[in-house]
Structures are given as C-alpha cells and as structure tokens.
Amino acid sequence: MSATTLSFRAPEALAQQTKAMARALSMSASDYVREAVREKNERALKERMVFLSGQLSAQHLVENQAMDASVGDGLAQS
C-alpha cells in the first residue's frame, strides 16, 4: 500500500479531542483520523447510492405508468 500525506488545519479543541479519543481507543491519532475519514467516506457513498437509487426508482415508476397507459391502444395482445 502506498501512503500519501494529507494535512489539514484543525481547531485546537478538535485536535485535543481527537488525540484523547485515539488514546482511549489505544490508537495513534493518525490511525484514528484515518479510520474516521474512511467511515465518513463509506457513509457518504452509501447516502449517495440511496439517493440515486430513489431517483432511479421514481423514474422507473413514471416509465412503467406511461407503459401501462398504453395498454389497450389497439395493439393485439397474445
């Protein structure tokens, strides 16, 4: 696994809270932040997939209703 450095500025209170939580979980601050970001990314991706699935379902429903409306349009059914 190749590692890339990612740095950001955080308020002192957030940094201290993060370090305290990491210590309580016997983790390094870096590992704690890495895990937190991974979990946030997974949650955001899941929320996006749910949103897109809902849009697709709504579109599918509209198309099905349009097709249902065409039943009995004079075409022979077998």
Evaluate whether 25 touches 35 at the Cβ level (below 8 Å): no
Spell out the domain ranges in the chain. 15-67
Sign, CA dihedral 13-14-16-21, equals positive
| Tally of CB atoms within 10 A around 32 | 19
pLDDT band at 67 (very low <50, low <70, confident <90, very high): confident
Q: What is the pTM of this model?
A: 0.65
First to last CA, the chain: 59
Tens-digit pLDDT profile for residues 33-53: 999 999 999 999 999 999 999
| Tally of CB atoms within 10 A around 40 | 10
